[in-house]
Amino acid sequence: MPTTRHRYVIAYDIPDDQRRYRIARALKGHGERVQYSVFECQLSPGQFQKLWEELGGLIDDQQDRVRAYRLCAPCADWARTVGLAAAIADVPE
């Protein structure tokens, strides 16, 4: 039975260059960058939890912000792009 995957939008605001680079590198392994500090990831709940814990260990709680939004299937299907933006293809299971 295939594992359910959800689309997550993860955005960050990290003032420190080194920490920002580490966050971007961690996210690159799990999704695609759609804006400078925004990634889209298709993850199982377990994968998301593991990534979220990793991100939590990389930030400074007093200076950094990381947000994740899980998109329901109809909302993810509705996403639109314009200009240089490219649609993110579904990742096969």
For 34-51, the pLDDT digits (tens) are: 999 999 999 999 999 999
pLDDT > 90: what percent of the chain?
71
What is the pTM assigned to this prediction? Answer: 0.84
pLDDT > 70: what percent of the chain?
88
Q: What is the pLDDT at residue 76?
A: 75
Four-CA torsion 14, 29, 45, 48, nearest 10 degrees: -20
Average pLDDT over residues 26-33: 94
- In whole angstroms, give the CA distance from residue 13 to residue 86: 22
- In whole angstroms, give the CA distance from residue 72 to residue 21: 29
